[in-house]
Amino acid sequence: MVGLGVTIARSSVSGTRLLGDPRPYTALVRAAGFRWSAKQSFWYIPDSRDRPGDPIAIDHLAGQLRELGVKVEIDI
C-alpha cells in the first residue's frame, strides 16, 4: 500500500510499540505478538516494559511489512 507507514518503537520505559496504522495487516501484527490498546491507541507487546527487546522479532516483522509495501521505521 502506497503511503502507509508505521514506526516500531522500543524503550525500557514504554516497552515495544507499533505506532501508525498497520491495516490491513493487523493479523500479521497480532501474529508477531502485538496487542491493541484502545485506551492509548497503539499496538504494543505485552509485558515488554523494563525488559530487553527482541531485535530479531522486530526486524522480522519490519521485513514482512516492507515486503508488503509498508514503510517501516524502527526507533530503538
- Domain count along the chain: 1
pLDDT tens, position by position, for the chain (76 residues)? Answer: 445 799 999 998 999 999 998 988 999 999 999 999 999 999 999 999 988 878 888 999 999 999 999 999 999 8
Give me the domain span that covers residue 37: 5-75
Contact between 69 and 1 under an 8 Å Cβ cutoff? The reply is: yes
Distance CA 20, CA 44 (A): 12
With residue 11 as reference, give the H or E element that holds it: strand 5-11
